Amino acid sequence: MNSSKRMLTILLALVALQWMSCKPKGASNAAAGGSAEKAYVAPGKYDEFYNFVSGGFSGQMSVYGLPSGRLFRVIPVFSVDPEKGYGYSEESKPMLMTSNGFVPWDDLHHVSFSQTNGEIDGRWTFGNGNNTPRVARIDNKTFRTAEIIEIPNSAGNHSSPFITENSEYLVAGTRFSIPVGDNQDVPIESYKDNFKGVISFISIGKEHGEMDIAFQLLLPGVNFDLSRAGKGPSHGWFFFSCYNSEQANTLLEVNASQRDKDFILAVNWKKAEEYLKAGKGVKKQVRYAHNTWDEKTHSAKHEIRTEVTVLDPAILKDICYFIPCPKSPHGCDTDPTGEYIVGSGKLAAIIPVFSFTKIQKAIADKTYDGEYGGIPVIKYEAALHGEVKKPGLGPLHTEFDDKGNAYTSFFVSSEIVKWNVKSLEVLDRVPTYYSIGHLSIPGGDTRKPWGKYVVAYNKITKDRYLPTGPELTQSAQIFDISGDKMQLILDFPTIGEPHYAGSMPASLIKDKSVKIFKIDENQHPYAAKGEKESKVVREGNKIHVYMTSIRSHFAPDNIEGVKLGDEVYFHVTNLEQDWDVPHGFAIKGALNAELLIMPGETQTLKWVPEKVGVFPFYCTDFCSALHQEMQGYLRVSPAGSNVPLSF
């Protein structure tokens, strides 16, 4: 073992040790008296902020109130959700289609909000799928997934869905470099020759938010980790952290973290746009899914797209620049002024802060330290504003308040450290319970933060709650940051693993929230817009049940004449026109989940009976005093029997 390998092994062992005993010493781990009031929102009162939290490997997003920590909704995004029939109804299944078919799970790490002039505008929330590379758009008026786009030439869409200040683009940077192009069956050992790191710029429609892959950048085989757009003076640029600049394909020989410095990649996307206009892009044949939800037909449409335009920054020299950044950078965050870019090396003992002005000067003067994969490397000192010295162990992510301060999460030393962006002076530190990953301040990644709270999203819960067997909930903690000192005011459990989260003032969304879907506007092809339109129609072996639900019955509720070999489609229209009166639908033995149908909506459950008999169905959501009576029967007869269709 050479000495640098030995050092690294020791460092990794230390990190592991810290992981096991990460309870900060000498700190009081309960909210101090009086501070709990700050998180108290009286019954019937509204929270000040909506907090959208990624669900990690649950594949979902959840919505909490701040500062109360009350859970309002779990939004199904990349994973099926039987509670809402998402991924079970015929209408929602296409949302989860990919170029590999139906993929009902993903790993959702980050959220971002649409912006106008660098401020949150409240229209859409985006989330990334880290496994089968995808990005989803949630419509904040309905709190539903409205669109999912798959990312070709990519694997592990981690550096996503970070967004530019007028929602021109959001990005998707591959976590794993992979072989790109026609021949992908190559030896893994040929990594350095064949593997590429690809970043996608996804345009967002001004009016309706629809996503489209505008272009991709073909880059050396590093791993892209996180990113942030420039803002204000640095608008037009995007910054990405990357690790594994060794381009190692195994960690077993501790190859991937040998270099003293990895990189931040600075991308001049305005320049990329110019090249694109000038026809410098190369069209590549690929296959990726694009799925959209239509609110009028209450259905998703799945299509496969087949082309992307690729730009090569090793040829088009002035799009991309690497900046050295110490030891395995993770977070890469730009401050509200747009001048400072904060890198966080997971194994580094300092936080480097880069200056956009200095980066521009270094590019103008060509203050380079050679090239990496054909891309200029700016000299570290030439780009550096300064380093925060001895801030803590294992810096991960940084958010900002509206007073020029930064808040960095430290996984290993399990704390949040507050420091001043200009002076780089450490101002305060507070322990987290335990081992914080991301952190979030409302608007803390934009030009307009609301510096009232910082929320820690912790990886380990340990002794914070009553034990629940081997697995404990993951957890968030809210700190009041309105004063000089950060103050813990609340813990709350999360759904799945919370990675990044965002918060916005409730006023941006709450009055725009859709209450019902108007039944007259329902364009679902199998809608029954009144009980009189309810019917059962046979088309070959397909039985279409045009069913209505209203408190407290289904129509029709007795169906006969279905035969073995038939496929039954229950198209259930909820006729209610009051806010929050869903009806559910389930039938005995269906190899499926339920439906949950909101007022004015039609949803379809497909059922292929496998046995002769009489099968009860019922409403699954308590809807009135006669909810329990909301039921019916369907009779299945042998194939070839002459029971006539009746309802």
158 binds, among ligand K7E, ligand CUA, none (CB under 5 to 8 A by kind): ligand K7E
Residue type, 478: I
Could you say which residues in the range 524-553 bind ligand CUA, by CB under 6 A?
549
Among 623, 634, 637, 647, binds ligand CUA (CB under 6 A): 623
Contact 393, 21 (CB under 8 A): no
Minimum distance between the CB of residue 630 and ligand CUA, rounded to whole angstroms? Answer: 4
Write the DSSP string, 58-125: T-EEEEEEETT--EEEEEESSS-BTTTTBTTSTTTGGGGEETTEE-----EEEEEEEEETTEEEEEEE
Distance CA 155, CA 550 (A): 46
- Is position 437 an interface residue for ligand K7E (rule: CB under 6 A)? yes
Asked if 229 is part of the footprint of ligand CUA (rule: CB under 6 A), the reply reads: no
Burial class (CB in 10 A: 0-12, 13-18, 19+), 531: middle
CB of 296 to ligand CUA, least distance (A): 24
Q: With binding defined as CB under 6 A, does residue 619 bind ligand CUA? A: yes
Counting contacts by CB under 6 A, is residue 109 touching ligand K7E?
A: yes
CA pair distance 284, 198, nearest whole angstrom = 13
Binding of ligand K7E at residue 110 (CB under 6 A)? yes
47, two tokens: 């929270």
Looking at 575-630, which runs of residues are DSSP E strands?
583-587, 595-597, 602-607, 613-618
> Residue 432 CB, nearest distance to ligand K7E (Å)?
12
Judge whether 411 and 394 are in contact, CB under 8 Å. Answer: yes
| Residue 619 interacting entry, from ligand CUA, ligand K7E, none, C-beta within 5 to 8 Å by type | ligand CUA
Residues 579-618 that bind ligand CUA (CB under 6 A): 583
* Shortest Å distance, C-beta 21 to ligand CUA: 51
Give the position of tokens 């996608």.
200
- Comparing CA positions, the residue from 632, 635, 571, 573 lying closest to residue 605 is 571
Piece of the chain touching ligand CUA by CB under 6 A; list 23-31, 85-93, 110-118, 619-627: 619-627
Contact code string over 555-584 relative to ligand K7E, x by CB under 6 A: ------------------------------
β-partners of residue 345 are 329
Residue 635 interaction partner, one of ligand CUA, ligand K7E, none, beta carbon < 5-8 Å per kind: none
Q: Which does 228 bind (CB under 5 to 8 A by kind): ligand CUA, ligand K7E, none?
A: none
Residue pair 543/535 in contact (Cβ under 8 Å)? The answer is no
User: Closer to ligand K7E at the Cβ: 440 or 522?
Assistant: 440
Tell me the C-alpha to C-alpha distance, in Å, between residue 255 and each of 177, 240, 305.
Answer: 15, 21, 37
Q: How far is the CB of 411 from ligand K7E (least distance, A)?
A: 7
Among 41, 627, 631, 633, binds ligand CUA (CB under 6 A): 627
Interface with ligand CUA, residue 630, by CB under 6 A: yes
What span, in angstroms and rounded, lies between the C-alpha atoms of 441 and 393? 21
| Contact criterion met (CB below 8 Å) for 636 and 611 | yes
Cα dihedral 55, 162, 73, 36 sign: positive
500 binds, among ligand K7E, ligand CUA, none (CB under 5 to 8 A by kind): ligand K7E
Given 622, 641, 645, 646, the residue binding ligand CUA (CB under 6 A): 622
499 binds ligand K7E (CB under 6 A): yes
Binding status of residue 346 toward ligand K7E by CB under 6 A: no
Nearer to ligand CUA (CB atom), residue 396 or residue 575: 575
List of residues contacting ligand K7E (CB under 6 A):
109-110, 158, 226, 330, 396-397, 437-438, 499-500
Contacts with ligand CUA by CB under 6 A lie at 549, 583, 619, 621-623, 627, 630
